[in-house]
Amino acid sequence: MSYSIVILESAEQDLQEIKHYVTQRFSLKAWKKTSTQLKSTLKKLQQFPYSGNIPPEISMFELHQFQQMVCDMNRIIYEIRQDQIIIHMIVDVRRDMKSLLMKRLMRKGN
């Protein structure tokens, strides 16, 4: 069974931030490589959505419906709902996930 991918607006914004960072710090060529790797990982997720793991920062809140797949220097945080994979976040592995989660929660509260 193949799942459809739904990328939330917040994850789209994450992608734009990653693109800006990679192109400014490295090059457009580096971004194209990163983009290709992310697309490849999303295709793998469509076929094998349960191959990810529960991020430790999220498991402590007992939100076991969220999983992650690591793609080079990025984490894709997603949720499986019926036949859809909902992409919530795409973030650099070096970022502090706890802080990012708190910012997202605060943003949604406003």
User: pLDDT tens-digit profile of 82-110?
Assistant: 999 999 999 988 877 777 777 776 665 44
pLDDT tier, 64 (very low <50, low <70, confident <90, very high otherwise): confident
* Residue positions counted in the chain: 110
DSSP-assigned states of every residue in 69-83: EEETTEEEEEEEETT
Q: Please count the structural domains in the chain.
A: 1
Q: What is the pLDDT of residue 59?
A: 74
- Give me the residue label for tokens 């457009």: 28
Better-scored residue on pLDDT, 54 or 98: 54
**Mean pLDDT, all residues of the chain:** 88
Q: What is the pLDDT of residue 41?
A: 96
Please state, for a pLDDT cut of 70, what percent of the chain lies above it.
94
Q: CATH number, domain at 55? A: 3.30.2310.20
**Per-residue pLDDT averaged across 28-48, rounded?**
95
Q: Which domain holds residue 47?
A: 4-109
Q: What is the pTM of this model?
A: 0.86
Helix (H, G, I), strand (E, B) or coil at 94: coil
CA angle 57, 2, 31 (to 5 degrees): 60
